[in-house]
Structure 1
Amino acid sequence: MKLKIPPAIQFLIFAVAMFIITKLTGKNFSFALQNVVVLLLFILGTIIGLFSVLSFKKAHTSIDPMHPSKATKLIISGLYQYTRNPMYLGLVIIQTALFFGFGNYYNIIILFIYGWYLTNYQIKPEEEALKEIFGDVYTQYCEKVRRWV
């Protein structure tokens, strides 16, 4: 598998794109409790991401998203029984917090492109690597648990 951009850098690229779009076109929406929604989404995304990472650490397996072939154990408990990609789900939720925080309608396009990019250029290659490592066990897991939610 040849992933070229680490997920953290991918996240930052899309976050900066949202920032630039907002600077160029301005903030064009706001609503009551907007800051509360942003904070709650940020906390939710962070908690999901942290619990996901802790599951990998607890199982003593690789968390390196650039080299999924280093994985020694398939994690299917905790958040992984509900979504195959809770780490990425956490990042998308935080990116959604940025969308609401910046208050710019155009950024919804960036948010959808980010989800599409993650799916096609990060998650699908990882899935192929995990199929090679874990075989039928991983295939059965994929049949039971959705990619996102």
Structure 2
Amino acid sequence: MTFLPLKIPPLLLAGLTALLMLLPVMLRTGHISGWHGLRSPLLVITLALFFAGAIFCLAGVASFRRARTTVNPMRPLQASTLVQTGVYRLSRNPMYTGFVLLLGALAMVLGNYLSALCIPLFVSYMNHFQIGAEEKALSELFGDEYRAYCQRVRRWL
């Protein structure tokens, strides 16, 4: 599967995963349902996942913009700066972490176990075909500085 690395934009993959998560609910009910079934504690958790996911995504993009480096995940060799500040002190992949949190919020809304099983598939694909290729490129670009960063900061959280 050497043709897959860096081929599907992560935002598109997150969207496709969300659509895949909707499928079991649509097949079972004929429509998208869920919000009406969330009770107060679950609603709080769902909203927390949603807002944390959105913040992680936006903070990741903002950090890249401040550093004036590429935000394009399909071209990691175009990175001009190794961003290690802001949300990048918590996660080497805050935008992808944000996507997982947003997908988690969607799973809570849908209340369907089959939908939730799509999240580990997303993470697995990202680890193997996106992040692995990015890490290889960043290691080539930034050498020991990047490897030291990897030792300090976790891939996800």
> Are positions 1:32 and 2:39 aligned together?
yes
| Conserved 8 A contact 2:14-2:99 | yes
| Conserved 8 A contact 2:21-2:118 | yes
Instruction: For 1:118-129, list aligned pairs within 5 A.
Output: 118-129=126-137
> Are positions 1:43 and 2:51 aligned together?
yes
CA separation in 2, counterparts of 1:77 and 1:116? 26
SS of the residue 1:3 aligns to:
coil
> Are positions 1:56 and 2:57 aligned together?
no
Identity of aligned residues (%): 39
Q: Which runs of 4+ in 1 moved over 4 A?
A: none
CA separation in 2, counterparts of 1:109 and 1:51? 27
> Are positions 1:12 and 2:15 aligned together?
yes
Gaps of 5+ in 2: none
CA separation in 2, counterparts of 1:20 and 1:131? 38
| Conserved 8 A contact 2:92-2:156 | yes
Instruction: For 1:1-149, list aligned pairs within 5 A.
Output: 2-26=5-29, 30-33=37-40, 34-149=42-157
SS of the residue 1:131 aligns to:
helix
- TM-score normalized by structure 2? 0.88
Count of residue correspondences: 148
List per-residue Cα deviations over 1:50-100 (Å, max 9, x = no partner). 111100000111111010111000011111111111010001000000110
